Structure 1
Amino acid sequence: PFGNSMLAYFEKYPEKKTELENKYGTVDLRVSSQDIGGDEGDNRKLLFFPMLKDGKVTAVIAGVINAERD
């Protein structure tokens, strides 16, 4: 869900994708992220994915998704 949302964002704002890729590399969505839950009653999840440049992790991108994953 986070990957789909991120890709939709990049389609709408391609300059942001270019800026991130130039600075940090590409987001690797093949890697499983650990879902980190919020406090009790908070159904949001925090997801992390590495950004790679020349096969090395240069940064981590994170996103919050809601319980409905939309």
Structure 2
Amino acid sequence: MSEITGMALIRSRRGLSAKIAAKLGITRGAVAQWNVVPPQYCPIIEATFGIPREELRPDIFLKAESTGVAA
């Protein structure tokens, strides 16, 4: 997991807020007003932009830990 998470992560990537807004059908201003990423949008952002939901909302989504056993 990166050190930067949530909205700080989104804001750190140039143009990402605008791309997220376009994908979700909302305005860039709406995304800019988020203090945290709404959990209902995490799966969409993860699938579209490849940012794990655990990094978007580490307070809600736990990172799956590897058991070290190959399937």
Q: TM-score per shorter chain, which class?
A: 0.3 to 0.5
Please state which structure has a larger fraction of its residues in helix: 2
For normalisation by structure 1, the TM-score amounts to 0.34
For normalisation by structure 2, the TM-score amounts to 0.34
Please state which structure has a larger fraction of its residues in strand: 1
